[in-house]
Chains A and B, each alone.
Chain A
């Protein structure tokens, strides 16, 4: 038996409720994709053969496993992306209330972004951003 305190308040409910159309939209967008796929698979002919189903490699037989090694720089980009994307997530609420928090808010974010920029510069000088 939940106490009254656990139940969301009226305002909270209204906030959650305003997201219902978003959920319906996502389901409908997925549904449209599924519908199109189903339509294609029902209406289209299917007569597979070995050659048709082999992976495309400009007419050659596939040479080796296609899940081959790839450049480590893609990993570096991914890691840098995570750091910067997190930073953007932090900047979002900060940017909205900047006028209220004033200089103190600006200063603390400057320290945070400054640290990140030092890392970014290090990365840059190390050549992690070079693609040749």
Chain B
């Protein structure tokens, strides 16, 4: 009985986390269209509901009601499993992310390792979808997306090793606590090169512009999910945006001090803003990164595939390796105010 109660408590907590995440995803889709619209001097969606803000609900309802085609030549089992494989890690990684002090579903010791594992699992959804579709565009898109994602995952992993070194713990709450203090105490400043590498890799990991050759509308139509329609497509769409929210949330936690306010610990102004709950700061920081995603999409031209691979292997990985060596020397010698 006690176990049952504990289990249902966990499930309630998880629901209380998943629903805001999904709402963020929904808002992100409509915010993206509106902001891109404004950037291109258009209106963007403004018909459904209050000034267009209910558009994502309408989209989901429409996609649920549409036929999900199961291509005759596809490997049926894998074809159906692939969307699940891509949505699961995008949501499950949230299990260890603290949204505010103590507000974490599972405060495990190997939190960061788990997040990295979940981020790596995402590529299976892409590869399985591309292979199971048995279509040339899907296969090409999946190969490209797979190679791109694994390449940038290395740079991202190295950047996170730098964060570990500075924080001295794999526990994500401990990583945030290591950044306690005002804005210049957060890891973005001492680890600036790693922060930039992490963020660029994050954009590339989610296959977003300017690194979206995996979808490349003008050459391979939609990439790995070209054969998907109806709800199966909706799940891929959901997973892509959930991944963006995840990468942004991780960036806020790893480099922008998670739930701490930018004036934390300062005299006068620090206590004056202490009433703002940590989850608000976390939300604001995450929203900033989400806005960056849209901003990049609105302003940058698409990279060529060879340029993407060159940036990943020949620029980002050497930069992170060098910075890791520099940082480990700092840590050992106890150099500077941060390490």
Asked if B94 is at the interface (CB within 8 A of a chain A CB), the reply is yes
Known A77-B150, A92-B161, A96-B168; contact A33-B71, beta-carbon cutoff 8 A: no
Asked if B68 is at the interface (CB within 8 A of a chain A CB), the reply is yes
A92 x B14 contact (CB < 8 A): no
A129 x B221 contact (CB < 8 A): no
Q: Report B280 CB to chain A, min CB distance, Å.
A: 24
Residues in chain A near residue B113, CB distance under 8 A:
92
Asked if B137 is at the interface (CB within 8 A of a chain A CB), the reply is yes
A54 x B71 contact (CB < 8 A): yes
B92 x A29 contact (CB < 8 A): yes
A85 x B135 contact (CB < 8 A): no
Asked if B42 is at the interface (CB within 8 A of a chain A CB), the reply is no
Residues in chain B near residue A106, CB distance under 8 A:
328-329, 332
Q: Which of B28-36, B229-237, B247-255, B294-302 lies at the binding interface?
A: B229-237
In chain A, positions 49-72 with a C-beta closer than 8 Å to chain B are 50, 52-58, 62, 66-68, 70-71
A77 x B332 contact (CB < 8 A): no
A40 x B234 contact (CB < 8 A): yes
Residues in chain B near residue A103, CB distance under 8 A:
332
B96-117 Cβ-contact flags toward A at 8 Å (1 or 0): 1000000001111100111010
Q: CA of A33 to CA of B151 in the docked complex: distance in angstroms?
A: 27
Asked if B91 is at the interface (CB within 8 A of a chain A CB), the reply is yes
In chain B, positions 209-232 with a C-beta closer than 8 Å to chain A are 221, 226-227, 230-232
Residues in chain A near residue B151, CB distance under 8 A:
77, 81
Asked if B18 is at the interface (CB within 8 A of a chain A CB), the reply is yes
Q: CA of A102 to CA of B333 in the docked complex: distance in angstroms?
A: 9
Asked if B10 is at the interface (CB within 8 A of a chain A CB), the reply is yes
A90-120 Cβ-contact flags toward B at 8 Å (1 or 0): 0110011011001100100110010001001
B65-109 Cβ-contact flags toward A at 8 Å (1 or 0): 111111111100000100110011111101110000000011111
> Which of A21, A30, A46 contacts B13, CB < 8 Å?
A21
A44 x B66 contact (CB < 8 A): yes
Asked if A5 is at the interface (CB within 8 A of a chain B CB), the reply is no
> Which of B106, B147, B170, B226 contacts A25, CB < 8 Å?
B106
Residues in chain A near residue B231, CB distance under 8 A:
36-37, 39-41, 44
A53 x B65 contact (CB < 8 A): no
Residues in chain B near residue A77, CB distance under 8 A:
147, 150-151, 309
A47 x B67 contact (CB < 8 A): yes
> Which of A28, A57, A78, A124 contacts B150, CB < 8 Å?
A78
Residues in chain B near residue A1, CB distance under 8 A:
none
B1-34 Cβ-contact flags toward A at 8 Å (1 or 0): 0000001001101110010000000000000000
Known A18-B106, A20-B10; contact A68-B157, beta-carbon cutoff 8 A: no
Residues in chain B near residue A130, CB distance under 8 A:
306
Q: Report A128 CB to chain B, min CB distance, Å.
A: 9
Residues in chain A near residue B38, CB distance under 8 A:
none
Identity of the chain B residue whose Cβ is nearest the Cβ of A28 in the assembled complex: B14
Known A25-B94, A81-B150, A129-B314; contact A99-B168, beta-carbon cutoff 8 A: yes
Asked if B54 is at the interface (CB within 8 A of a chain A CB), the reply is no
B68 x A32 contact (CB < 8 A): no
> Which of B68, B95, B317 contacts A40, CB < 8 Å?
B68
10 contacts between A and B (CB under 8 A): A21-B105, A25-B94, A33-B83, A36-B231, A41-B68, A44-B64, A57-B137, A78-B150, A92-B112, A113-B325
A-B pairs, 10 with minimum CB distance = A40-B231, A131-B306, A25-B95, A29-B91, A88-B157, A55-B135, A21-B106, A53-B72, A81-B150, A95-B165
Sample of 18 further A-B pairs with CB below 8 A, known A25-B91, A70-B139:
A15-B109, A18-B106, A21-B14, A21-B105, A21-B106, A22-B96, A29-B87, A33-B87, A36-B64, A44-B230, A45-B67, A53-B71, A54-B71, A62-B135, A66-B136, A74-B143, A129-B309, A129-B314
